Structure 1
Amino acid sequence: MRNEYKYLTTLLIIGFVIGALIGILLWMFLEFNAGFSISISAGFGMLLGIAIGSVIDYKNKKESR
C-alpha cells in the first residue's frame, strides 16, 4: 500500500519534536510554566507540520494527475 500522505506524516513528527524542543528552551531560559510551554509549543509545531505537509502532498497529488 502506497502512503499518499508521506510528507504530512513526516512533517507532523518533525514539527512535534522541534516544537517540544522550543518549549523546553522557553521553559529553561524564560522560566515559563513547564507543562504549558512544552505542550503549547509542541501543539503549534504539529499544526505547522500538518499545514506544510498537506500543502506539499496536495501539490504532489495535483501534479501526478
Structure 2
Amino acid sequence: MTAGSKNSAAPAVPPDSDASYDEWLAAEVDDAIHDPRPSIPNDEVKRYFAAKREVLKKRIKGD
C-alpha cells in the first residue's frame, strides 16, 4: 500500500465504520496496483534497510 492515498476520495486514515473501511481499503489497494512508479527489487530494499539499521544501532550505542 501507499503511504497516504493519492485518491482524494479516500481518507489517509481508515474510517471507523466497517463499510467505510472496506471502501477505503479497496481504494488503497487500487492505488497501489495502479501506481506508475517502478517496483524496487527486494534485494535493494533489504540492503537499504540493513544499512539504516546499522546507522541506528551505532547511534544508539553512541558511536
Fold-level similarity (TM above 0.5): no
Q: TM (normalized to structure 1)?
A: 0.33
Q: TM (normalized to structure 2)?
A: 0.34
Which is helix-richer, 1 or 2? 1
Q: Which has the higher contact order (CA 8 A, sep 6+)?
A: 1
